[in-house]
Structure 1
């Protein structure tokens, strides 16, 4: 019997093996960083920085830490360019307006799941953009020049507005989920006597995001608020 052919790099099997879990990789990179594996963490993030905004931000964050610890002009410029690249990546792939239109037009269960996932992705990108702006402001303040202070203050203003918008959006989603919860329980209890052939109840078709995901996103915004105030204390 002939041996099975190995998947070529361009085949479907090869593409499947190339898929990565950016959240798991990011966690691995941060753990390396916290355990004095600065070089290994930098290599990991830079290897996969083009795979997702999260990995791109991880690479930029490591570059930022390297610049802040060394105060070398070359590394500070590199960190500035990395942060701007991550910010541009998040802005170019942010499809918030398109997804909002889809949410209003498409109401099926499948499209609701997709729109919920897209909303989470959009919020995460906006939070990353705000984080990048805070770090860019820190790099500006380090120069200790009047023009740099003015530029840093303007960047911080944009970051604050982005954090505030994300916080309000997440709060709105959380309140909407709480309002739908009693309706879903009432609908479930009324549908128990019906046969299973009647299909899923309308409550199962509602577009919702899990409370755990919303709590995680709000925690990210709260952490960003802390970064903002820390940056203000440097001035």
Structure 2
């Protein structure tokens, strides 16, 4: 009787752990869906000013007028490379993310797009981001923040490539997701900057703070969520082993 009772308790515990894991997965899916809808909306808003970039309207464009003094040479080249490569990397990153985590098996085109994405990030987005970071409007603190963001994006992409080449798919997905989060940081930056404008709280300090939090905060929450998911999964697996 005691053995049956302990098995019954273990079975209930296993059911609760499984339910917690399922709820966490559902919350993750909901967060991804809401983030995607918001991301598409912000991406459209991000692309609207492009009409002042071709050709460069140094008088009416808020961004370009702030960079008028150095909008020549390497900076102008980096600017155009960045604003073209950025949306491409975002769209490709979204396609890779959903095809790599939601679809099983992974579609054949995933590898092809992945190679293109690696080239776009490492050869275009990363170097142009480094150049532009040195002229951030909010000063040295923002320059460091955007420089580290560019480096982190390149590093996470490099690890994603390395793990894909060695067949470590789980690690590949982990690093590719980190890279995608970093690629999405301009969208969050745009949302928060817009909020400061609407609430009349836009200051140099706010811009410096946003330069850091726009990519560090999402990364932090991703790592915390990943740890919670892994812990719940590990507990479920351990419980099942004890029952067996």
TM-score by length of 1: 0.35
More helix by share: 2
Q: Which has the higher contact order (CA 8 A, sep 6+)?
A: 2
